Amino acid sequence: MAEKVFITCAVTGSAKMPAHPNFPFRPDHVANEALAAADAGATIIHLHVRHPETGEPSQSLEDYREVVGLIRAKNDAVILNVTTGPGCTWMQSADDPAVCGPGTLMFTAERRLEHILDLKPDICTLDICTMQLWGGVAINLDPMITRMGHMIQDAGVLPEIECFEAGDFVFADDLMAKGALPKGAPFSFVLGTKYGLPATPEAMMYAKNQIPRGARWTGFGVSRHSFPMAAQAVLLGGNVRVGFEDTVYLRKGRQAKDNADLVRWGVDIIDRLGGDVASIGETRAMLGLRE
């Protein structure tokens, strides 16, 4: 176990919204959830944005600007970790397996990073997986990721390497070796997607053993695996992510009221396992981020 454990709260995500009365999608609601999550102990807020009226996932620069602005107006200390995930989804058409169908959303590197270059958050995610995901294909090939990696570094933003699969660790090594990713970048293990690394202790231990010695990492499981995998990450010396992006349940049959509720559940697990939740300053130090 690490001496200090930091908590990321992923407040809204970009999947289909679950049926929950308090699921945030309007900018002020997302910002308020983020602020409350920070008050509850999360030192990193992982952000996606949604259409202010429909809740559909958005990739609009204006929506990112608004949410970030609302958070920063009230809290300029909490660490912002903004997604670059949207724009790598390819759905196979029913007619021709080589051609994409409805639901496809594929962006260029420039389009995927537009809001990052504009807003320069502390951290942005970088999904490096190519895999079956959500019924389609997540496509993140070497040329695209290499380009994005350089652009992110040039912007002075810290990329968090999102690994969904065993091969992603080999890819990350190659990317680091050619400078497309910085050597000290933190990792995130996304466990339990269909079909990537499963949400099991074995898979998380395998993942932990693949990253560079000393690298910081967060391990989490999707859906019902959220809190078991949070505990597993703590036990293996990693950090924790919770939030409505992953689940709206504290445990089976018990819905969380809001993101802060999930954060408190995570804080409690860390406490009961004997760990200490990192402050914002401690989290920045762990990640090499400037204050």
Given the rule CB under 8 A, which residues bind a copy of itself? Answer: 1, 90, 92, 96-100, 104, 106-108, 130-132, 135-137, 139-144, 164-171, 174, 193-198, 201-203, 205-206, 209, 213, 224, 227-228, 231-232, 235-236, 250-252, 265, 268-269, 271-274
Q: How far is the CB of 230 from a copy of itself (least distance, A)?
A: 9
60 or 92: whose CB is closer to a copy of itself? 92
Q: How far is the CB of 201 from a copy of itself (least distance, A)?
A: 5
19 or 98: whose CB is closer to a copy of itself? 98
Nearest CA to 168 among 206, 199, 202, 201?
206
Residue 196 token pair: 């990537």
203 or 260: whose CB is closer to a copy of itself? 203
106 or 117: whose CB is closer to a copy of itself? 106
Q: How far is the CB of 47 from a copy of itself (least distance, A)?
A: 23
Which residues does 233 contact at the CB level (< 8 Å), separation at least 6? 189, 204, 217, 218, 219, 220, 239, 240
Q: How far is the CB of 150 from a copy of itself (least distance, A)?
A: 17
Q: CB-hemisphere CA count at 13 Å for 165?
A: 17
Q: How far is the CB of 30 from a copy of itself (least distance, A)?
A: 26
Cα dihedral 127/80/36/42 (nearest 10): 70
Beta-bridge partners for 170? none
82 or 109: whose CB is closer to a copy of itself? 109
69 or 101: whose CB is closer to a copy of itself? 101
Residue 133 near residue 196, CB atoms below 8 Å: yes
Residue 165 near residue 197, CB atoms below 8 Å: yes
Nearest CA to 204 among 163, 243, 172, 160?
163
Q: How far is the CB of 266 from a copy of itself (least distance, A)?
A: 9
